[in-house]
Structure 1
Amino acid sequence: MTGGHDLIVIGGGAAGLAAARAAAGLAARVLMVTDGPPGGDCTFTGCVPSKTLIEAASRGLPFRDAMGRVRDAVATIAATEDEAALRAEGIEVRRGRARFLAPGRVDVDGTVLSARRCVVATGAAPTVPPMDGLDGVPYLTHETVFDLTAPPRSVAVLGGGSIGCELAQALARLGVRVTLVEAADRLLPAEEPAASRVLADAFTRDGIRLELGVRAVRARTADRAVRLWLDDGTELTVDRLLVAIGRRPVTDGLDLPAAGGVAVDDHGYVVTDDRLATTAPGVYAAGDVTGRLPFTHAAYAMGRLAAGNALARRRRRYDPSATPWVTFTAPEVARVGLTEAEAVDHGGRVAYLPMTEMDRAVTADDTDGFIKLVAGPRRLLRGLGGGRVIGATVVAARAGEMIHEPALAMATNMFTGRLAQATHAYPTWSYGMQLAAAQFFTTVGGRRARPATRAG
């Protein structure tokens, strides 16, 4: 048995890398176990390749050149987190599959390792629906779509969440005929309804066929094509099928009960408390395997916190309330905190600014979208200073950058009025945030903040 480690991190994705690096920063003896190259899903099959493909498509690159750009970007970023880079940072890396034998003991392909503490950061994998005939169809997922070397003539995308929407639009802009199938009655069903409407209009202009409020119930291959039947009787025939309906936690083979009783919920996610501790002493979990926010930046924050809590006497809480997220479509859809409908129960008020009234959007001739800023009363001070920011949704060409201002306001419990008072450069995209915040105090362009409604 090999011992002498203060912390074993199981998983080499964003959460695992963050945990290992945080532990090394605390001068701990840390071992990271990964069954693939460090970097995990984000580097090789997630954020890096998908955003590269989106950028390449927006610049009009041919399909083969776009995929070449994807490979180059992945290689560049992977080199900053490979085994050699991590060892230079004081992190020991072992390739293999980990399995708990007992509390504090982990088997990695026949080698038994021991440590006082462990962080489980094994991530998630694509969910595959139990559809009739799907197992006989060579479908794609976000993990395999980047292996394409030539563009299919047509693709059906199952799933209208972030992954499905991003890939559908990128493929359409690369010349692929795309049909998107979503069981909900709108795209991005977790976002503001108005955001869904803006995106649906943009997709229609891009030539994407939308099948909303329907499910795919059967699939077959025929003459090198895929036939797909929807529950409303519609039949589709496409070259390829891309499944993007969600993700599931990866815990296969870990033998979590042997770790001292690590519990999972009904969906298989590892149960953690607000310090990211599992139900087994000394075992923490971080990232997608916990079922919390499924984003790389959230996983990284969780990984750092889990490692710190595992090694330190004073443990900190994980608070995801001010964590923003972005769907990198055109326009981008970004959100932090509560939607308008959710804010009703919190006494929320809403400021709204359409991009058609935002000068920077007009100069860019890119006026799809809006800013929606949600504020709620502060404890004791109530609405003084405009209250506090409790949520924001931005749909715009640069929404992913604009969302960080309200995220910072939430993280620091800032008065909403501070956003209105801060001088913003004109004409910038972020200037719209100042105009929206000012609506809590005065009329701006005929608009004032109003009470939140469930209709949004």
Structure 2
Amino acid sequence: MTRSKLVLLLTIALLVLVFLAADGHKLLTLANLQSQQAAIAQWIDHNLLLAVSGYALIYVLVTALSLPGAAIMTLAGGAFFGNVYGLIAVSLASTVGASLAFLVARFLLRDTLRSRYSDVVAKMDRGIEKDGAFYLATLRLVPVFPFFLINLAMGLSGMKMRTYALVSWVAMLPGTFVYVNAGTQLGQIESTADILSGDLLFAFVLLGLFPLLAKFLVGFAQRRKAYAGWQKPARFDYNLIVIGGGSAGLVSAYIAAAVKAKVALVEKHRMGGDCLNTGCVPSKAFIRSARAADTLRHAREYGLESVPVTPAFSQIMARVKQVIARVEPHDSPERYRGLGVDCLAGEAKFVSPWEVEVAHSDGRAERLTARSIVIATGGKPAMPPIPGLDQMQPLTSDNLWDLQAQPERLLVLGGGPIGCELAHAFARLGSRVTQLETGDRLLPREDADVAERVLTQFRKDGVDVRFGHAATSFAEENGEKVVYCEHQGEQVRLVFDQVLVAVGRAANTEGLHLEHIGIEPLANGALPVNDDMSLRYPHIFACGDVAGPYQFTHAAAHQAWYAAVNGLFGQFKRFKVDYRVMPWVTFTTPEVARVGLSEAEARSKNVAYEVTRYDLGDLDRALTESDGGGFIKVLTPPGKDRILGAAVVGCHAGEILGEFTLVMKHNLGLNKILGTIHPYPTWNEAAKYAAGEWKRAHAPGWLLARLQQFHRWRLGTGSQERNNP
């Protein structure tokens, strides 16, 4: 705790002690106020200005310090100053006092709360920002809620001070008036319970519901405004129309069909989207071939004769196509039609918020209506505006799979997951790979030690990684393709045969005619989704790469559940998307898998943490396979086993990560992993050993010392003499 916080805390404590020592809690009682009413009233008649000022100051202190007696002070305002002046004095003093209590709680506790529970605080702040004023007004209007608790709780939130003061002042006026008015009849009151009759309390409860009703009315007005100028159809062709047949679209359609909704799925190209046709499936098949080549090249490590590997590149690409063909039935129109989905081959564009026009691949055009619409049009490789790049016929993760001849010299732009996966695979297949990264390390979203482990393997396998190199122009010179880069103020010239661009992905929104219905993409091209995955209109949703912020197949499927369920049942209940536990894997060698916070993210969010590490080189299964390079790193709060984040670097990292993801999702902790039987010898034993490292570091030393003494005592005196000749 800082010195200023300590001084403030001690000052508050001193004031409270003085209040109690002076029997202030006994002075601020109804009986005492009634007995002293005449004498105090007479003094006020001769010292009105001083009385009002002193009264206001005392009220502010009582409220700011959360002392008992605010109700009596309010009655006194009516008794001594009347309805008008009493109401003004009390309303202003109570607002100032409440605001001071709010600020004190924020100053003393919010930083600590934010550092220890950053995710909880962030979620709370988002809710407060959106609906906080309505809920604060509700709490203030209903006198059954202790106001001092409201002051402290709101101080820990992210509510703006001016919002808090204004809403508190307005919402407390009705209750303040009732108490001030009661104070004018002080002699007729036997207890404070007489002030609020059952009927009056019920009226306050109804009044307290007004902000929530107002929230509903505001939302209704916003919806009316959004739909202004559009005529909602009297009937609909479908309950749900899904635009896009990739991961997000397929899951949305599947869910709708599973609950017997009438659903149409419109796909203009190939079902399965990027994941099946150009992303996850082909890239992992390609990486497997590269890993096989590396195994053959290093067979001596397994007691076999190493052999030179000459990749038959066209056969490798043929195998990639075969793998796609084997997976394709899972995402085929035939399968989804069997599930009850109307699969339409064509391109859709919006005509109205409820209506899309589908240009079928056979030339037909038809208009379809739906109660809800899901946009799941995916993404595409981003192409940086570098002069001459488009003349190089650049490869991307989309068109790479049509390549039939292996490039001898491959230039890779980008050090992110896609660039790293493909750069390493081509290098293992024999290409001379140069990888350019404008930053200072690979995989910039991961910690430096994780990226360093990958870089070590890349350089061992011959990848020429160039950091701080920004491509400035491309050209063809003397029959060769060249790139000019800027590096530390100097120009660098590199020669290559083909260039692979992997600098990120952009959302697919072209042709949807979104501007016609007033939906504008964000600066990064993604659609501006709300917490329930809806867009400007509550019945139009977006999910997957077109929505962001994660561009993973599993993230798209996760979002699709919210889009489909909210689209079908949102008029009854809406669910907010939950990103608390989002794992991902980069399929380099070694694999990199992570869930939750990295060390860099924890530091940037001021989250206190400690690190537990386990070296995979100590795992028996890794030793049997001669593949022990890597480690597990787990972040936990100091002294606690709750997992803040976990990173696994090494063989089968993606599979090992699953256990940490499950534990995080269900708030179980490392002790639960340690108490779970893991079969031997398996890679997942590594999770148990990592948990064991945490347990060993947190073993109670004092207890172990006492146990050692106990066991020595149990051996007997003679044994001690033999051990200590």
Task: Normalising by structure 1, report the TM-score.
Answer: 0.92
Picking from 671, 681, 685, the partner of 1:417 is 671
Which of 517, 522, 529 is the equivalent residue of 1:265?
522
CA displacement, residues 246-282 of structure 1 (integer Å, 9 cap, x when unaligned): 00011112122434x3343221211112211112220
| Identical pairs, percent | 39
In the aligned structure 2, how far is the partner of 1:44 from the partner of 1:77?
10
- Give 1:176 deviation, angstroms: 1.1
Q: Does 1:243 align with 2:501?
A: yes
Task: Give 1:433 shift.
Answer: 1.2
* Large movers: runs of 4+ above 3 Å: 222-225
Displacement of 1:362: 2.6
Q: Which has the higher helix share?
A: 2
Aligned counterpart in structure 2 of residue 393 of structure 1, from 644, 647, 659: 647
Name the aligned partner's letter for residue 581 of structure 2.
A
Q: Which residue in the other structure is 1:276 paired with?
A: 533
Equivalents in 2 of 1:237, 1:347: separation in Å? 47
Aligned match for 2:322, one of 65, 68, 72: 72
1:199-278 equivalence runs, <5 A: 199-222=454-477, 225-232=480-487, 233-259=491-517, 261-278=518-535
Question: Secondary structure of the residue that 2:457 maps to in structure 1?
Answer: helix
Counterpart residue number, 1:451: none
Q: Does 1:186 align with 2:425?
A: no
1:18 partner letter = V
Partner of 2:249: 16
Work out whether residues 287 and 425 of structure 2, in 8 Å CA contact, stay in contact via their aligned partners in 1. yes
Which AA in structure 1 matches 2:338? Answer: A
Give the number of the structure with larger relative contact order, counting CA–CA contacts within 8 Å between residues 6 or more apart. Answer: 1
What's 2:432 paired with?
A: 177
Q: Which amino acid aligns with 1:416?
A: L
Give the residue type in structure 2 aligned to 1:47. C
Alignment of 1:318 with 2:573, yes or no, is no
**Among 88, 93, 111, which residue is 2:366 paired with?**
111
CA distance in 1, matches of 2:465, 2:550: 27
Q: Among residues 612, 631, 640, which one is paired with 1:351 in the alignment?
A: 612
Q: Residue in 1 aligned with 2:289?
A: 56
Match of 2:242, SS state, is: strand
- Structure label with greater radius of gyration: 2
Deviations, residues 192-229 of structure 1 (Å, cap 9, x unaligned): 11111011110111111111121111111345532111
Deviation string 1:37-72 (CA, Å, 9 cap, x unpaired) is: 110111000000000000011112632221111000
Taking the aligned partners of 1:78 and 1:221, their CA distance within structure 2 comes to 39
Q: Residue 392 of structure 2 contacts residue 498 of structure 2 at CA under 8 Å; is this kept in 1?
A: no
Alignment-mate amino acid for residue 12 of structure 1? G
Which one-letter code corresponds to 2:534 in the other structure?
A
Aligned equivalents of 1:257, 1:280: Cα separation in 2: 13
Give the whole-Å Cα distance in 1 for the aligned partners of 2:480 and 2:658. Answer: 44
Whether contact under 8 Å (2:614, 2:693) holds in the other structure is no
CA distance in 2, matches of 1:191, 1:204: 18
- Structure 1: 5+ residue runs without aligned partners? 378-382, 445-456
CA distance in 2, matches of 1:148, 1:223: 24
1:7 has 2:264 as partner? no
State how 1:34-183 maps to structure 2 within 5 Å: 34-60=267-293, 62-109=312-359, 110-183=365-438
Q: Is contact 1:338–1:392 with CA below 8 Å preserved after alignment? A: yes
Cα distance in 2 for residues equivalent to 1:64 and 1:178: 19
- Cα distance between partner residues in 1 of 2:590 and 2:398: 24
Q: Is the 8 A contact 1:7 1:29 kept in 2?
A: yes
Question: What SS does the corresponding residue of 1:142 show, helix, strand or coil?
Answer: coil
| Unpaired runs of at least 5, structure 2 | 1-232, 294-310, 360-364, 699-725
Per the alignment, residue 452 of structure 2 pairs with 197
Matches within 5 A, 1:336-347: 336-344=595-603, 345-347=606-608
Where does residue 327 of structure 1 map in the other structure?
Answer: 586
Structure 1 residue matching 2:261: 3-state secondary structure: coil
User: 1:423 Cα deviation (Å)?
Assistant: 2.3
Report the residue type matching 1:337 in the other structure: G
Contact 1:284 1:306 (8 Å CA) reproduced: yes
Counterpart for residue 288 of structure 1: 545
Q: Which residue does 1:380 correspond to in 2?
A: none
Tell me how far 1:158 sits from its aligned partner: 0.3
**Greater mean deviation of Cα atoms: 195-204 or 102-111:** 102-111
1:253, 1:47 → 2: CA distance?
Answer: 25
Alignment-mate amino acid for residue 346 of structure 1: V
Q: Indicate the SS of the match to 1:175.
A: coil
Query: How many angstroms does 1:93 deviate by?
Result: 1.2
Matched-pair contact (CA < 8 Å) for 1:192–1:393: no
| CA 272–241 in structure 1, closer or farther in 2 if over 3 Å, else same | same
Question: In 2, are the aligned partners of 1:57 and 1:66 still within 8 Å (CA)?
Answer: no
Letter aligned with residue 677 of structure 2: T
User: CA separation in 2, counterparts of 1:327 and 1:184?
Assistant: 18
Deviations 1:354-402 (A, max 9, x none): 223333223322222210011237xxxxx5xx34112100001110101
Corresponding residue of 2:95: none
Q: Please provide the CA RMSD for this pair.
A: 1.8
Q: 1:126 to 1:96 in 2, by over 3 A?
A: same
Distance 2:664 2:651 in 1: 23
Write the distance in 2 (CA, Å) between the matches of 1:238 and 1:161.
20
Match of 1:28 in 2: 261
